[in-house]
Amino acid sequence: MSSNKNARYNRFSSGTTNITTSENTNGTRMETTFGPAYSAVTTITKADGTNTFKQHRRTPSSSSTLTYSPRDEDDGMVDPRGCPFTIKLSARKDHESSCDYRPVRCPNNPSCPPLLKMNLEAHLKECEHIKCPHSKYGCTFIGNQDTYETHLETCKFEGLKEFLQQTDDRFHEMQVAMAQKDQEIAFLRSMLGKLSEKIDQLEKNLELKFDVLDENQSKLSEDLMEFRRDASMLNDELSHINARLNMGILGSYDPQQIFKCKGTFVGHQGPVWCLCVYSIGDLLFSGSSDKTIKVWDTCTTYKCQKTLEGHDGIVLALCIQGNKLYSGSADCTIIVWDIQNLQKVNTIRAHDNPVCTLVSSHNMLFSGSLKAIKVWDIVGTELKLKKELTGLNHWVRALVASQNYLYSGSYQTIKIWDIRNLECVHVLQTSGGSVYSIAVTNHHIVCGTYENLIHVWDIETKEQVRTLTGHVGTVYALAVISTPDQTKVFSASYDRSLRVWSMDNMICTQTLLRHQGSASP
């Protein structure tokens, strides 16, 4: 070979390049043939004429120079059974995928010997490892081509192949659908995660805002309580001044006519709906939305003496007849209590709706409910239904009894009943919504309405003489205090105030503002 042992070649040539070197001193002649993929074959011709083939490596450089190394002479022989095609390097991958000389494996069994692609078809005809096409369904057949065809004629799965194929197709569709659902679930989970993050952030923001709101509310409550204390003190002073200014109209100034709060009974767990005084024993009874009646000492201790339990609803009405206390409730019952021992002695299912009001007269008990007034004869601890008064247009929330008449209030109407024959003898039409309270003096009939008004009628002529304004809430209760010199009516309202009215000149002489909630009897 030449002394520099180098040769030039074209790496993209589709053919071969023959390079002939000079003879060595021993008469040996070498000829190298270059092929693609950096392969080379050297033919060594000895002096005796014999040829030897050697395969060796080529090391390309940027100058496309092949460097020959003497150790290449020791490499193995080129396999003459290999692919004879010479191709460009750029086409090598495509060629190998279709080359008949490419090594392959038997698809029936990996234990079959390695094969060339050109021999695969012949091998498959003789292969002893052919499986039944239904092996995935459980068929265990394995054999050659002849036994395979015979097996198909008797294979139990062959007759079911259409069904099995449909099952496979359906299973594939389900797999595709499940994959889609998995993608949707993954998407929803990601969205849920983002939503959870947003909710967490919102919760943090809300907590911060609530903290600020609580601080502001606490400060506002303190300021409001202080304002109420100041307003109460100012109102007391104004009441004194107003009384002195009106002495010429109301008569001589009497300090006892200025009403002041002397104390507060505390104990109920809800609003107080009704009050009733038992003067003989200096007791005050109070009914509440906590379903109880409390008995208060008004003479010495001014404390709760006992709590009466028995109702299943709000206690809406209280009434005393003799030594018996009668209570009406939202549970539609009337309970009879013995005042002497403060024990329950009877329970009557009185109405189909809540019992809103009670009043007694002439040994009879009157109870008001929805569109009905029931009249009960009091016989010991029993109540015997005597009559039901009908023709009422709405809830009967107010009842007052005098010596000869029963007054009932419903929607924009006051009915006057003869207490002897229980017949309606007169109807007063009013305005301002439902009548919530009624009071009767020697000269007037007074009612409080849902729309904050107090109407006054002459008791003889039944003509309306005045409408008293001042409250800004429903007038829940009216009470009368009469003296030989004057008559005063007290009104209690949802606006948390009590007003004192002079019935001589129909003006408000005092406003009491001590309640923290709506005022009722």
Give me the average pLDDT of each 10-residue run along the chain (521 residues). 37 40 56 47 56 47 39 50 79 84 84 84 83 83 83 80 83 91 92 91 90 87 82 70 54 52 81 87 88 89 89 93 93 93 93 94 93 92 91 92 92 92 92 90 92 91 90 89 85 86 86 62 57
Same domain for 148 and 31? no
Same domain for 354 and 423? yes
Of the residues 112, 135, 156, the one at which a domain ends: 156
How many CB atoms are located within 10 Å of the residue 265 CB? Answer: 16
For residue 260, is it within any domain?
A: no
The CATH number of residue 320's host domain is: 2.130.10.10
Q: What pLDDT, on the 0 to 100 scale, is given for residue 92?
A: 84
CB 328 within 8 A of CB 316: yes
Same domain for 286 and 369? yes
For residue 54, is it within any domain?
A: yes
Q: What pLDDT, on the 0 to 100 scale, is given for residue 419?
A: 92
For residue 287, is it within any domain?
A: yes
How many CB atoms are located within 10 Å of the residue 223 CB? Answer: 10
The CATH number of residue 110's host domain is: 3.30.40
Q: Which two tokens stand for residue 424?
A: 């309606």
pTM confidence score: 0.52
For residue 509, is it within any domain?
A: no
Q: What pLDDT, on the 0 to 100 scale, is given for residue 243?
A: 58
Same domain for 63 and 116? no
Same domain for 9 and 95? yes
Same domain for 345 and 438? yes
Q: What pLDDT, on the 0 to 100 scale, is given for residue 270?
A: 86
For residue 500, is it within any domain?
A: no
Residue 157 CA, distance from chain mean position: 57
Same domain for 379 and 459? yes
Same domain for 313 and 461? yes
Q: For residue 331, is it left (φ>0), alpha (ψ between -120 and 50) or beta?
A: alpha
Query: Cα–Cα distance between 356 and 184 in angstroms, integer?
Result: 61
CB 479 within 8 A of CB 487: no
Same domain for 351 and 459? yes
Structural domain of 426: 270-474
Q: Into how many domains does the chain fold? A: 3
Q: What pLDDT, on the 0 to 100 scale, is given for residue 256?
A: 44
Same domain for 42 and 122? no
CB 130 within 8 A of CB 150: no
For residue 312, is it within any domain?
A: yes
Same domain for 52 and 141? no
Listed residue (334, 362, 351) closest to 396, CA to CA: 351
Burial 426-447 (b: 16+ CB within 10 A, else e): eebebebebbbbbbbbeebbbb
Same domain for 109 and 49? no
Query: Please, which residues have CB within 8 angstroms of residue 299's CB and are 6 or more apart in sequence?
Result: 282
For residue 394, is it within any domain?
A: yes
Query: Please, which residues have CB within 8 angstroms of residue 358's CB and are 6 or more apart in sequence?
Result: 317, 318, 319, 326, 327, 328, 334, 365, 366, 367, 368, 399
Q: What pLDDT, on the 0 to 100 scale, is given for residue 5?
A: 37
